Structure 1
Amino acid sequence: MSRHDPHRTVHRLGAPLVALVLALACTSLLVVAPAGAGAPSTSARAEAFTPMRLGDSGWRVRVLQSRLHQLDLHSEVVTSRFDVETRDGVATFQRRRGWTADGVVDERTWTRIVARTTEPTSDALHNVYTPGRALLERGDRGMWVRQVQARLKQVRWYDGDVTGRYARSTVRAVEGFQAKRRIPVTGEVDRRTLTRLKDMTREPTRAELFNIVPAGPALDPRCTTGRAMCVDKTSRSLRWVVDGVVLKTVEVRFGSDELPTREGAFSVFRKSRDHVSSLYGTSMPFAMFFSGGQAVHYSPDFAANGYAGASHGCVNVRDRAAVAWLFDRVRIGDAVIVYRS
């Protein structure tokens, strides 16, 4: 028997069959190739994303901040520093989705932020701004102008009366505010300028909007918003203040050195029209309690003897009609500010 010659066998098979044999050989090579040889594994892909967190810095953080701004979760100014504002914006984004709100940008958080935003422009990433449409400009009048003037006054860019007229002095104040914050200096209030101004200020009080100056010593700043009984130990006065406007002023006296009236910010937690002290057995009509057993109330002794005596820590009022008027207007939760001017 002759020995087998593979070359002669292939020759007898013919060209079409040779091609089929080679194709099958290539297929078998593909089958035995190691899995995943040409692409990173799932674990490798997971390791490719590095989380961003408080304290980080760099261009990625800058892009993150710009995208957060698109979602109203960061100011327009980007800094490349992952600061508290950035962390809070990320945490809010996570909280809205029911995720753990740790403020750390993991891959899931980043993927969702990218999906909800557009690629930041070069101008946005470099804090280059173009003027927006004017919401208020020179020649305008009205309450919106008053609001802007009062807010500019709070940040010391406007020092005139709040008039409601957008005149030259208001233009200069807006220009100064814009220049300080790298906003295009136009002297007109666009959306960017108004948003930044609101972020830096509080809602103006009626007194600020209409140039109402409180009588007597300066009010404690804590008395200028909302509803407050502003008790000044220095001037021995109680002023009832609503939105920065003093509506009533009465004379008061306080506790002795042994039983002083507490100073600080409190609120009315109880009212008793015909109260009698269970500790001292004395009458305390129109009592408005703000700190433990200390209250603002009418004092017959104060009315009779003036400042010759002292309370047991309460704020005594000598004018019965005035304190009755006050009692009918003060609500539970209203502020009581006791201070020295």
Structure 2
Amino acid sequence: MRARSRGTRQVRRLGVIGGVMALMLSAGVVAAVAAPAPPAAPLVPGTPCTVTARACVDLIALKAWLVQDGRILRGPVPVSIGDEYDPTPPGRYQVEWKAKDWVSREYGSPMPYSVFFAPGGIAFHEGSLQTSSAGCVRLTRDNAIAFFDYLQVGDEVQVHSDVPAGG
């Protein structure tokens, strides 16, 4: 008899646990279904960036834009970026600081009109478009001045390396 009562208790426990699990699942407490992601901000037409960006970079097309309230203010403008050894990092950043006449501490190279936005000293700045950078986004002089004048500390910078659909 004792074996039966233990077996009955185990069946009851399993029944209670199963009932509790069923209630929790029906209430959505244990369900491991991911909630739908909030809708992404709309894209700025003609760019890979959302309307929250103030500066946009397309690493595939080698283009950049200045954006205000979802409208293109300047661009697309040509850019030079890092290579496979010193890549320009894709991501969402904020302008950290600016320096009109900066000289790279690491390379000793002038970086006029620098707008720093990513870790490791990554910045928009004036420079040759004919060669790769050490990770920065190089611009012609006129464009570097425009980016320097327009962007402010805290502004969002989006850097995209997405390959377009079908491409």
Compare relative contact order (CA 8 Å, sep 6+) and give the higher one, 1 or 2.
Answer: 2
1:235 to 41, 44, 61: 61
2:149 to 321, 328, 340: 328
1:298 to 126, 131, 143: 126
Asked if 1:287 is matched to 2:109, the reply is: no
Measured in 2, the distance between the counterparts of 1:56 and 1:296 equals: 56
The TM-score normalised by the length of structure 2 is: 0.67
Measured in 2, the distance between the counterparts of 1:243 and 1:226 equals: 7
Contact 1:270 1:289 (8 Å CA) reproduced: yes
Measured in 2, the distance between the counterparts of 1:261 and 1:201 equals: 27
1:112-150 CA-partner distances (Å, limit 9, x unpaired): xxxxxxxxxxxxxxxxxxxxxxxxxxxxxxxxxxxxxxx
Contact 1:224 1:241 (8 Å CA) reproduced: no
User: What is the DSSP-based 3-state SS (H/G/I as helix, E as strand, rest coil) of the residue aligned with 2:145?
Assistant: helix
* Number of positions where the alignment pairs a residue of Structure 1 with one of Structure 2: 132
Sequence identity (%): 34
**Structure 2 unaligned runs (5+)?**
1-20, 31-37, 163-167
Measured in 1, the distance between the counterparts of 2:97 and 2:23 equals: 52
Asked if 1:81 is matched to 2:27, the reply is: yes
Q: Report 1:310-329 matches (<5 A).
A: 310-318=132-140, 320-329=141-150
Please tell me the residue identity of whatever aligns with 2:122: Q
- Residue number in structure 1 paired with 2:92: 265
1:304-339 CA-partner distances (Å, limit 9, x unpaired): xx42x2111111002x12221221111112122222
**Structure 1 unaligned runs (5+)?**
1-54, 59-79, 85-199, 208-212
Which structure has the greater CA radius of gyration?
1
The TM-score normalised by the length of structure 1 is: 0.35
Q: CA RMSD in A?
A: 2.6
> Is the helix fraction higher in 1 or 2?
1
Contact 2:53 2:158 (8 Å CA) reproduced: no
